Amino acid sequence: MKKLLLLGLPLFALTACGAPTEEELAADLWEQIDGWESWDAAEGWPALSISDDGTHGDFVTIVVNDVEAGGGGDGAIIVKKGYEDAEGATAKDGVTVMWKTDQYESESGWFWAKYGDDGSVALSGDPDGCTGCHSSSADYQTYLETSPGSAEE
């Protein structure tokens, strides 16, 4: 019995001291995006834009933190909020977030999360639903590379 306990100890220590879990990263990211509504819109994206494909809503707001606005790199964050109408009155629940972090190892280089309005995590990590669409571009920023139509047009 004592041998089993001792054999399990290194595994526990490795897990406890290793890289953060997806759940821990998602919780950290939720705190980092507090106040995202006041962030600047992504370059070339009006405050409320027509969605290319409706995945996140018929209309979207895409905002970026200062790191992404300054050219990207580790710490860059992109937040997307979806809406059903051009006035932005009917919001879809939650936000979708991309976070460039060296704390998470993925092919895309991004940590992805989808949150409910209450901060509950619907998806996190490197979900196929995110990377499947975004992998069509360099640095996985597929839809930031195109200029959308304004909801006001």
Percent of the chain's residues with pLDDT above 90 = 34
The secondary structure of the chain in percent helix, strand, coil, rounded to multiples of 5, reads 30, 25, 45
Q: Domain spanning 22-144 has what CATH number?
A: 3.50.70.20
Task: Give the residue carrying structure tokens 């979207």.
Answer: 60
Tell me what pLDDT residue 33 has.
97
**Residue spans per domain, the chain:** 22-144
* Residues 2-14 pLDDT 10s: 443 344 434 334 3
Tell me what pLDDT residue 25 has.
96
On the 0-12 / 13-18 / 19+ scale of CB atoms within 10 A, 91 is middle
Q: Which of 52-56, 67-71, 115-119, 123-127 has the lowest mean pLDDT?
A: 52-56
* Residues 77-131 pLDDT 10s: 999 999 988 888 888 888 999 999 988 887 778 898 999 989 999 998 876 666 5
Tell me what pLDDT residue 9 has.
39
Distance CA 151, CA 33 (A): 24
